[in-house]
Amino acid sequence: MRRNTILVTGGAGFLGSHLCDRLLGDGHEVICLDNFFTGTKGNIEHLIDHPRFELMRHDVTFPLYVEVDQIYNLACPASPVHYQHDPVQTTKTSVHGAINMLGLAKRLKCRIFQASTSEVYGDPSVHPQTEDYWGNVNPIGPRSCYDEGKRCAETLFFDYWRQHKLEIKVARIFNTYGPRMHPSDGRVVSNFIVQALKGEPITIYGDGAQTRSFCYVDDLIDGFIRLMNSPKELTGPVNLGNPNEFTIKELAELAIDMTGSKSKLVYQPLPQDDPRQRQPNIRLANDELGWKPIVPLRDGLRLTIGYFERLLSLQSKAVLAPFGI
């Protein structure tokens, strides 16, 4: 395999750090770019001394001048807690970030990958969701900074493909979980595991009957690599996610069972525009990439719970250390 120099924007985030691991493991040189708004150095500290790894603190809303062979554009807050904290900056990250990275790819004549999202489908009226579904998105709601920002980024990618013949790859990512998730990002998997480990009530929004499909991070990253290196005619968008569907209540009960927690379920009102169903149709990924998830939910949760147990233990020791305990 040819060794490439590969830029990963958002490389210190949950998905980005796992992608950096995989690319280095495949023998490539990696430039990890992050402004550390949601990414953390802890996610990539094990890579700092790697001879083929370089870390850059930079915000994609500003132009960047580097020489690379491929670009993975992952930069953007991806959880409602984080992207609603500064919705204007979230939209800028998606739109200005796409413009800047596409401009860089155009100058370098290199292939570029966009980490889009199943949120482009909104609260879907089609189930499961296929790539030709245009979505049901509220353009002025509290989630629209992320939903519409990602939709606009897709528009830019396909306009650069049509107008400038740029080689693009667009992946629509469905719910993904695994080690290095942020413990307070508000996503259901991290929320439920952390609450269960702490013995706190498990917060379910709505009646818990809404469904999600959960893909383990290693499976997703394998999909990224396959899509990036697929024939140039396959631009996407391509759904990447696990089609096995679970209710939110089922996930909460599984988290309690697997952690041995005594936590109880509590119910809160459903947030505005929260989708009732989310399940990918992955026929395109399976047919064109030979890709499908292979990690069962219980196996992935076991690894994720182990990560959060270690993280909470370290946080507890850091709190007690000043008191000599």
- Summarised one tens digit per residue, pLDDT across range 209-219 is 988 899 999 99
pLDDT (0 to 100) of residue 104: 98
Q: Is 146 a catalytic residue?
A: yes
Q: Which of 245, 227, 252, 246 is nearest to 237 (CA)?
A: 227
Confidence check: pLDDT of 319 > 50: no
* Per-residue pLDDT tens over the stretch 90-113: 999 999 999 999 999 999 999 999
pTM greater than the 0.85 cutoff: yes
Catalytic residue among 146, 160, 177, 216: 146
The answer to whether residues 203 and 163 touch, using CB atoms and an 8 Å cutoff, is no
Instruction: Tell me how far apart the alpha carbons of residues 256 and 263 are, in angstroms, rounded to a whole number.
Output: 7
Domains and CATH numbers, the chain: 5-178+216-243+278-295 (3.40.50.720)
Q: Shortest CA distance to 170 belongs to which of 183, 196, 145, 151?
A: 151
* 56 phi/psi in degrees, rounded to 5: -125, 130
Euclidean distance between the first and the last CA atom of the chain, given in angstroms as a whole number: 51
pLDDT digits (tens, 9 = 90+) for 258-295: 999 999 999 998 877 677 778 899 999 999 999 999 99
Q: Any idea which of 48-52, 65-69, 208-212 has the lowest mean pLDDT?
A: 208-212
